[in-house]
């Protein structure tokens, strides 16, 4: 989701029976560090349960944070960061001595509600150049980041002033001898949300959808709670529609939704009906809640408006006009020779790849999408030119609206329509998103002022920070998009 890992939307909210003191945010972040470091796994679950509403996916959050603790913990406190009326920061060092910052966003209404958690490299807050600032070539940078993050391979792409440069390093599969190649395709994960919003933006330009169109208008005939019926497509794209988050599934859960549906369209239809049969988690525009389910609904709305499968829309609206020859959906024949994903859930890094109906279910959220780093960067340029005021794949006004952010919490980072707006000390402002399907991690960053797009992908999953692609974006940004 975002340039910095938001734990794929580990957004925690809670009510309390009594107002909390002004010092509670600092106690809260220290309590998180203590829970992550505890040898008792139940302590983290108890911590999250205490700060989550009934019905929130505490088990999913516990799993993700447990993975972070296993991969990077224990965390040693390394100083307090800023504390405002919306955020409290704490610096830590991980097991390798890397300095990180935990950023907890919260609201008071009047009680304290935890709105979100980000983990970032400390240099993002403190401003000094990253350890990779002296890279001599993209090839060397890719090789170094892959080695330092225990990634079998990494792909990097940079487009600066219209010139594409691609670098790859490592092997397609751990233990194998096939090196990755520049045109290899990788899973892009949640970066696919920006592709979905691009498809919706194109259909709006064609008069088939509207920014303010409600779910009841876009999905006629679907039974839904009255709250959903008034949610607009733009609110869904901003993750402010109160849609359940659906940040993880078991195989049994997927099959209970899919049933005997075979085609991707039928699978998504079943999933849309399942989503809309559940209660909203918030009122429209009440709060930000990162939602895979919301983007799944957008893909179904696009299919109904255009009368075509979502995968076909991606080809017609994005891939073909941009001449992306190494971009695939889950229904396309994928190249047999491509990087394998990897995970370390067994305690040891091993090949693993996502497949099955879940990919079709979550196509709008980024499921089953594969692109080369060069193609993904070229797609980023289509948004770059719009942000610089030029019509292209879409009208500049449409692109700019897709990038118009709404703060996730008061005074927090803005999230737009599949894009996050980022500010980092010493760097120009940029828009981007990250992605992961659990076996690969991807990153895209667009620096409009510098006419620069950066893409980084590794073929391993995990929750360790800083994310490999984020490291690459910061290293290249320091070289070409620093604040003068």
Q: What is the pLDDT of residue 345?
A: 76
Q: What does the alpha-carbon distance between residue 117 and residue 111 come to, in Å, rounded to a whole number?
A: 18
Specify the CATH architecture of the domain 24-126: Roll (3.10)
Burial of 251 (0-12, 13-18, 19+ CB in 10 A): exposed
Q: What is the pLDDT of residue 20?
A: 39
383-419: b (≥16 Cβ within 10 Å) or e: bbbbbeeeebbbbeebbbbbbebbebbeebbbbbbbb
CB 6 within 8 A of CB 290: yes
User: Do 130-484 and 24-126 fall under one CATH topology?
Assistant: no
Q: What does the alpha-carbon distance between residue 380 and residue 289 come to, in Å, rounded to a whole number?
A: 25
The residue ranges of every structural domain in the chain are 24-126, 130-484
> Pairing mode, if any, of strands 112-121 and 76-83?
unpaired
CB 151 within 8 A of CB 317: no
On whether the 130-484 domain is CATH 3.20.20.30, my answer is no
Q: What is the pLDDT of residue 56?
A: 60
CB 372 within 8 A of CB 378: no
Tokens of 467: 């994310």
State pLDDT tens for residues 237-256.
999 999 999 988 889 999 99
Query: What is the C-alpha end-to-end distance of the chain, expressed in Å?
Result: 28
Residues of the chain with pLDDT under 70: 1-23, 52-57, 107, 109-116, 127-131, 411, 465
Q: Name the β-bridge partners of 415.
A: 406, 420
Q: Identify the CA nearest to 422 among candidates 104, 114, 124.
A: 124
Radius of gyration of the chain (CA): 21
Per DSSP, 363 falls in state: G
CB 474 within 8 A of CB 123: yes
């Amino acid at each position: 989701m975002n340039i910095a890992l938001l734990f794929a939307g580990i957004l925690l909210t809670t009510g309390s029976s009594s107002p909390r003191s002004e010092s509670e945010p600092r106690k809260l972040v220290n309590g998180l560090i203590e829970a992550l470091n505890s040898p008792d796994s139940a302590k983290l679950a108890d911590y999250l349960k205490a700060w989550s509403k009934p019905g929130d996916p505490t088990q999913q959050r516990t799993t993700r944070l447990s993975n972070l603790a296993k991969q990077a913990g224990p965390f040693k406190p390394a100083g307090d960061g800023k504390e405002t009326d919306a955020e409290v920061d704490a610096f830590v060092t991980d097991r390798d001595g890397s300095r990180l910052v935990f950023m907890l966003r919260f609201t008071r209404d009047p009680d304290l509600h935890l709105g979100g958690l980000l983990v970032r490299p400390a240099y993002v807050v403190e401003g000094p150049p990253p350890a990779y600032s002296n890279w001599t070539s993209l090839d060397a940078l890719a090789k170094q980041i892959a080695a330092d993050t225990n990634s079998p391979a990494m792909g990097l792409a940079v487009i600066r002033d219209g010139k594409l440069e691609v670098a790859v390093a490592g092997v397609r599969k751990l233990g194998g001898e096939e090196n990755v190649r520049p045109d290899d395709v990788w899973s892009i994960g949640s970066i696919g949300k920006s592709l979905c919003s691009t498809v919706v933006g194109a259909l709006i330009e064609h008069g088939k959808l509207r920014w303010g169109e409600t779910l009841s208008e876009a999905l006629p005939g679907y039974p839904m709670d009255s709250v959903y019926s008034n949610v607009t497509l733009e609110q869904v794209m901003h993750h402010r529609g109160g849609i359940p988050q659906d940040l993880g599934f078991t195989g049994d859960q997927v099959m209970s939704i899919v049933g005997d549906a075979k085609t991707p369209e039928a699978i998504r239809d079943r999933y849309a009906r399942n989503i809309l049969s559940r209660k909203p988690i918030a009122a429209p525009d009440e709060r930000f809640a990162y939602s895979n389910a919301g983007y799944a609904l957008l893909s179904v709305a696009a299919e109904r408006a255009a009368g075509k499968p979502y995968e076909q829309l991606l080809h017609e609206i994005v891939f073909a006009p941009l001449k992306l020859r190494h971009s695939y959906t889950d229904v396309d024949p994928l190249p047999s020779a491509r990087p394998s994903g990897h995970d370390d859930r067994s305690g040891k890094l091993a090949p693993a790849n996502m497949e099955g109906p879940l990919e079709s279910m979550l196509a709008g959220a980024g499921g089953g999408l594969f692109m080369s780093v060069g193609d993904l960067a070229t797609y980023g340029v289509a948004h770059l030119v719009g942000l610089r005021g030029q019509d292209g794949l879409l009208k500049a006004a449409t692109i700019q609206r897709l990038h118009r952010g709404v703060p996730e919490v008061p005074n927090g980072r803005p999230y737009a329509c599949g894009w996050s707006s980022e500010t980092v000390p010493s760097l120009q402002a940029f828009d981007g998103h990250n992605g992961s399907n659990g076996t690969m991690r991807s990153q895209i960053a667009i620096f409009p002022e510098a006419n620069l797009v950066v893409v980084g992908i590794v073929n391993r999953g995990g929750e360790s920070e800083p994310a490999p692609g984020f490291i690459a974006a910061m290293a290249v940004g320091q070289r070409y998009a620093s604040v003068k």
